[in-house]
Amino acid sequence: MNASVTTHRPEKRGLLAAWKEDVRCVFKRDPAARNWIEVLTTYPGVHAVLMHRLSHRLWRANWRYSARLIAYLVRLLTNVDIHPGASIGARLFIDHGAGVVIGETAVIGDDVTLYHGVTLGGTSWNKGKRHPTLGDRVLVGAGAKVLGPITVASDARVGANSVVVQDVPAGGTVVGIPGRIVSDQPVSSGEYGINLNHHLIPDPVGRAISCLLERIDKLEARLEAQGRLEPDYQASFYNSCTPSSEICEVDCAGGKQHFSRG
């Protein structure tokens, strides 16, 4: 685990002050937010965070059942499941809120943004530290799963629908299943908060395939120039190519017929 990320964040602010910060941060990270009344009455992610502040205090005071009951009722109302034992820093923003799960031993830094469908989950039944630690200003895209007692260091970004099971360095961007670090440049921010730029996240798999295709084209061009390949071979091949998944169903590990033969 990255030692620079705090693993325990005692709540030093008053509850009302923490609530005010949680609501105020919405206006910096959601252009749809128009006024305090709208945020307080129609944002389920905000409701979940506000009530977690209360349930977490009860949890730390050993009022465990009361804390769990509040968390359960909040889950029914918001579809956000935050264990009262999770430690959450200042100004967490859960956008949309639907389907977010945060486990008991998760630790979240300040100014973190989570989108809908995010899971901060465990990979063990051990009672110790089994959920992720997120540093400050981390952004986790919609549907992403961050699993196990790993550390996503400050200013990192997790792409939508990624599955992250290893540490992510500060300022890194991770995408894919399993997650791969594709950039070490921090997420930029400005007047309107975090610059998402999801469409600019690198695609290492697509790049590798493009390189392979380019390499094949060059090799076939050399063979054709040496007279070892018939002219217009590429055009005739691609015109007659009808790809299907049949070969993988037969030969690939996990394919349907692979299991029937086993």
Q: pTM value? A: 0.69
Domain count, the chain: 2
- Model confidence over 206-254: pLDDT tens digits? 677 878 878 887 887 777 777 776 666 655 666 666 666 565 555 554 4
Ramachandran angles phi, psi of 210, nearest 5°: -60, -40
Could you give the angle at the alpha carbon of 83 between the alpha carbons of 80 and 87, nearest 5°? 110
- CA-based angle 173:174:180, to the nearest 5? 135
Is residue 218 one of the residues assigned to a domain? yes
Is the alpha carbon torsion for 59, 139, 40, 19 positive or negative?
Answer: positive
Asked if residue 81 belongs to a domain, the reply is yes
Encode pLDDT of 75-134 as tens digits: 999 999 999 999 999 999 998 888 999 999 999 999 999 999 999 998 888 888 999 999
Q: Which residues contact 43 (CB under 8 A, 6 or more apart)?
A: 26, 33, 97
Residue 198 lies in a domain: no
pLDDT for residue 248: 55
Domain that holds residue 102: 15-189
Instruction: Let me know if residue 75 belongs to a domain.
Output: yes
- Confidence at residue 260, expressed as pLDDT on a 0 to 100 scale: 46
- Which residue is it, tokens 């039944």? 125
Phi and psi for 257 in degrees, rounded to 5?
-75, -20
Tokens of 238: 């691609």
Express each pLDDT in 32-69 by its tens digit. 888 888 888 888 989 999 999 999 999 999 999 999 99
Do both 110 and 51 map to the same domain? yes
Where does a domain end: 189, 217, 248?
189
- Same domain membership, residue 179 and residue 215: no
Answer yes or no: do 105 and 210 share one domain: no
Does one domain contain both 173 and 58? yes
